[in-house]
Amino acid sequence: MTSQLGKAPRQLPVIRACSIPRIEMAEELDFQYDPEKNYDEETLAQQKEIEREIVDTQQLVGERVSFDRLIREYAQEDEIYREKIEHLKNLYSCVRKTRGDGNCFYRAFGFAYLEKLLVDRTDVERFKDVVSKSLKVLVGLGFPQFTIEDFHETFLDIVNKVTNHCTHQELIDTFNDQGLSDYIVVYLRLIVSGHLQQEAEFFANFIEGDRTVKEFCNQEVEPMGKESDHIHLKALTDALGVCIRVEYMDRVDTHTCNHINFPEDSKPTIVLLYRPGHYDILYSNADMILFQRNLPK
């Protein structure tokens, strides 16, 4: 996936301000360092402000919205995106937005899948079993049990809630509770990290730069707020045995969105919408009928 220009959804910007230039640079540029001034804190304050704005305006997992509302985010003259939304409108019923905080893939995946399990019980027992056993797998890979078991327990608790027919609203509330929701994200990140490390020989071929799989996991998977790419999606869906489809709504000059299934030849259970830097959830008409019929009241 290459990064695309264009009106990306609001996303935490990566602020790359080097507040105090390298010292020899400082001399060259005639940089007047003011020892009274805290450059570090200034940058952090600015960043905190942006984060606060996102927290204030975007729910972790929002309401379902129509495509007509989605289209309003784009300029009238933005032909490519408008055309692609029209295309999506023919295939799907609505979209559910997630907060653009760098964790959106994990949150969208976690919510959409558990929501699906509420109305389609086929995979409930298998999924629960995979999640229960995953702690042992991670400990086996060298993650300290003491550090990761809280995250595992939180995630398993939520899976159990779904297994025991919690209400739709309970699931929505859980995913909008910052603490619980972030613990779910952490655990899904750990599952990705664990799977990448377990299959390191294979995934090493897809890692950019001079890094080992382990370094990649430490830098790009485990820390909160780190965005997800193809490799993260493949690892999570492989590890959990869940099939998803991603509709790519990018700037590529085609009239329709391209989609990719993970794994490739599978029948997807949930669909995510990708716009450069961000993932939301898509619902088909069939999904909506299923929800109407089967949701625990």
Partner 1 sequence: MSVSVNYTQSPEGIIAGPVNEENFFEWEALIMGPEGTCFEGGVFPARLTFPTDYPLGPPKMKFTCEIFHPNIYPDGRVCISILHAPGDDPMGYETSAERWSPVQSVEKILLSVVSMLAEPNDESAANVDAAKTWRDDRKKFEDIAERTVKKSLGL
Residues 26-55 that bind partner 1 (CB under 8 A): 26, 33, 35, 39-41, 43-44, 47
Strand residues in the chain grouped as ranges (E): 61-65, 94-98, 244-248, 258-262, 270-275, 278-283
CB of 221 to partner 1, least distance (A): 8
Going from the C-alpha of 247 to that of each of 41, 49, 74, 259, 268, the distances in angstroms are 40, 32, 18, 4, 12
Residue of the chain from 76, 179, 264, 265 that contacts partner 1 (CB under 8 A): 179
Comparison of 27 and 86: residue with beta carbon closer to partner 1: 27
What mask of x and - would describe binding to partner 1 in positions 1 to 20, judged by CB under 8 A? -----------x-xxxxxxx
Residue 223 found at the interface with partner 1 (CB under 8 A): yes
Say how far apart CA 261 and CA 244 lie, in whole Å: 6
Of 231, 193, 190, 194, the C-alpha closest to 209 is 231
Let me know if 129 is a catalytic residue: no
Let me know if 280 is a catalytic residue: no
Let me know if 166 is a catalytic residue: no
Q: List all residues 6 or more positions away from 95 whose beta carbon is below 8 Å from its beta carbon.
A: 64, 65, 66, 67, 70, 88, 273, 280, 281, 282, 283
Going from the C-alpha of 265 to that of each of 256, 259, 261, 268, 288, the distances in angstroms are 21, 12, 7, 9, 24
Residue 122 found at the interface with partner 1 (CB under 8 A): no
Residue 254 found at the interface with partner 1 (CB under 8 A): no
Comparison of 155 and 248: residue with beta carbon closer to partner 1: 155
Residues 132-151 that bind partner 1 (CB under 8 A): 143-144, 146-148, 150-151
Comparison of 93 and 198: residue with beta carbon closer to partner 1: 198
Comparison of 88 and 158: residue with beta carbon closer to partner 1: 158
Residue 89, judged by CB atoms within 10 A of its CB (0-12, 13-18, 19+), counts as: middle
Residues that bind partner 1 (CB under 8 A): 12, 14-20, 22-23, 26, 33, 35, 39-41, 43-44, 47, 102, 143-144, 146-148, 150-151, 178-179, 182, 186, 189-190, 211, 215, 218-219, 222-226
- Active-site positions read 101, 104, 278
